[in-house]
């Protein structure tokens, strides 16, 4: 009986899908256990309990799953295909007329579904979970909300003006969304010759959908030989400073969504600040799906030869070897991009190109 190609896709995809999920669960589980054990040293400090530690780890699971998925994908794919090769099922599929490229497409389709889920998670569950985890730990350890603690000692720049805030917080304001309140704020406006042109002290600086508002304002304007003081109860502040950029500038780049990373990069470039850490994470997100598929496709040729007679240990070793090699390539090119200041897009495009080139050469050798 002749099987239709769609049935081959489903059968091969199911085999790879299952082994990838199992491998993924093991890797994430180990990472969670290690993270949880690392929290033991903080249990008992102030109000931080075992329950807080467990909740903190659970909130970070989406981010950990995202990080572990490429390694799980290549190990799981090799183990799944290796099992099919060991039972001669891949040989039977080849005998029915399916080429190696066609079988690789089936594997890629199965992995693409999981990759799409991870990309979506990195933009939604990942940042949300990490924010909740940070808020929980901050509240339990120090008895304060993360929104007030993360704006403590804030410095920011917009054009010729530098902002310094002693403290601040975010508040939900009904249909207006979020309102940012900075307290004990100083604004330093720098003249073209490098001297301080004016110093503005405000009791509070607020931002909502209507813009920035200064309250309790005392402004000293410095002339060549004079100082002029102006006091205003309340006035608008016409500034392009994005409150989202303030938050993203404080948060770790890996905990931000693509939109937040883009906002932070634009803000930093506009003000002549170093944005390389944010660009690194930003482009790593865009190349994430390509990296996963390239890594797995580069490993597929081994399923048609060397894995057929090998056991599970050999497949596991090859999977770890491929994942480690790819990670070292990424680290090498990423560090070069940071040191030599060339485009991070080139740095993240080179590793998958190298891996796909290796895959192509292996396909030709095994086809010859």
DSSP string, 187-211: EEEEPTTSSEEEEEEEEEEEEETTE
The tally of CA atoms less than 13 A away on the side-chain side of residue 30 is: 8
Please give the pLDDT value at position 137.
Answer: 78
Judge if 35 and 155 occupy the same domain.
Answer: no
Instruction: Output 84-91 pairs: Cβ under 8 A, ≥24 positions apart.
Output: 84/12, 84/15, 84/303, 85/303, 85/304, 85/307, 85/308, 86/307, 86/308, 86/309, 86/310, 88/308, 90/303, 90/304, 90/308
Distance of CA 355 to the CA centre of its chain: 22
Judge if 156 and 130 occupy the same domain.
Answer: no
Say if 97 falls within a structural domain: yes
Residue 119 confidence (pLDDT) above 80 = yes
Judge if 27 and 126 occupy the same domain.
Answer: yes
Judge if 129 and 155 occupy the same domain.
Answer: no
The whole-chain average pLDDT of the chain stands at: 80
Higher-confidence residue: 250 or 180? 180
Judge if 159 and 193 occupy the same domain.
Answer: yes
Judge if 21 and 122 occupy the same domain.
Answer: yes
Say if 108 falls within a structural domain: yes
Say if 263 falls within a structural domain: no
Say if 256 falls within a structural domain: no
Please give the pLDDT value at position 6.
Answer: 58
Say if 168 falls within a structural domain: yes
Please give the pLDDT value at position 313.
Answer: 65
Higher-confidence residue: 88 or 315? 88
- Count up the domains in the chain and report the number: 2
Of 253-257, 277-281, 296-300, 313-317, least confident by mean pLDDT is 313-317
Judge if 18 and 100 occupy the same domain.
Answer: yes
Residue 3 confidence (pLDDT) above 50 = no
Q: What token pair was written down for 270? A: 């506009």
| Rg of the chain on CA atoms, in Å | 27
Q: Per-residue pLDDT averaged across 344-359, rounded?
A: 84
- 196 band by pLDDT with thresholds 50, 70 and 90: confident
Please give the pLDDT value at position 166.
Answer: 81
Please give the pLDDT value at position 8.
Answer: 65
Please give the pLDDT value at position 267.
Answer: 77
Say if 267 falls within a structural domain: no
Say if 130 falls within a structural domain: yes
Please give the pLDDT value at position 177.
Answer: 62
Judge if 128 and 91 occupy the same domain.
Answer: yes
Higher-confidence residue: 301 or 123? 123
DSSP string, 84-114: HHHTTHHHHHHHTT--HHHHHHHHHHHHHHH
Q: Per-residue pLDDT averaged across 88-108, rounded?
A: 73
Judge if 156 and 220 occupy the same domain.
Answer: yes
Q: What percent of the chain has pLDDT over 90?
A: 15
Instruction: Report the SS3 class of residue 368.
Output: coil
Judge if 193 and 104 occupy the same domain.
Answer: no
Say if 251 falls within a structural domain: no
Residue 310 confidence (pLDDT) above 60 = no
Q: Per-residue pLDDT averaged across 2-19, rounded?
A: 70
Query: What CATH number does residue 190 fall under?
Result: 2.60.450.10
Judge if 126 and 9 occupy the same domain.
Answer: yes
Residue 30 confidence (pLDDT) above 90 = yes
What's the domain range around 122? 5-137+277-367
Judge if 127 and 12 occupy the same domain.
Answer: yes
């Amino acid at each position: 009986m002749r099987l239709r190609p769609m049935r081959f896709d489903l059968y091969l995809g199911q085999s790879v899908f299952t082994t990838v999920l199992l491998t993924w669960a093991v890797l994430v589980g180990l990472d969670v256990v290690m993270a949880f054990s690392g929290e033991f040293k903080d249990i008992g400090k102030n109000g931080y309990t075992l329950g807080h530690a467990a909740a903190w780890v659970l909130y970070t699971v989406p981010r950990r799953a995202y990080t572990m998925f490429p390694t799980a994908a290549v190990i799981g794919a090799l183990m799944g295909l290796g099992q099919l090769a060991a039972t001669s099922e891949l040989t039977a599929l080849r005998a029915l007329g399916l080429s190696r490229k066609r079988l690789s497409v089936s594997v890629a389709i199965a992995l693409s579904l999981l990759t799409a889920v991870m990309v979506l998670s990195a933009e939604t569950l990942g940042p949300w979970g990490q924010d909740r985890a940070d808020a929980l730990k901050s509240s339990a350890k120090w008895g304060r909300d993360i929104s007030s603690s993360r704006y403590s000692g804030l410095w920011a720049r917009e054009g010729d003006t530098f902002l310094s805030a002693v403290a601040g917080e975010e508040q939900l304001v009904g249909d207006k969304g979020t309102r940012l309140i900075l307290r004990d704020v100083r604004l330093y406006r720098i003249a073209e010759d490098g001297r301080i042109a004016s110093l503005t002290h405000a009791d509070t600086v607020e931002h909502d959908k209507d813009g920035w508002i200064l309250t309790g304002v005392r402004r000293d304007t410095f002339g060549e030989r004079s100082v002029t003081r102006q006091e205003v109860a309340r006035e608008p502040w016409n500034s392009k400073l994005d409150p989202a950029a303030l938050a993203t500038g404080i948060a770790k780049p890996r905990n931000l969504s693509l939109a937040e990373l883009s906002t932070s990069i634009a803000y930093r470039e506009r003000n002549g600040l170093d944005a390389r850490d944010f660009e690194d994470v930003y482009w790593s997100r865009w190349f994430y799906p390509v990296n996963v598929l390239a890594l797995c496709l580069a490993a597929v040729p081994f399923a048609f030869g060397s894995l057929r007679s090998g056991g599970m240990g050999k497949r596991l070793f090859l999977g770890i070897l491929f994942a480690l090699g790819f990670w070292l390539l990424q680290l090498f090119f990423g560090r070069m991009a940071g040191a030599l200041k060339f485009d991070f897009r080139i740095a993240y495009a080179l590793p998958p190109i190298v891996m796909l080139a290796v895959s192509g050469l292996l396909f030709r050798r095994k086809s010859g």
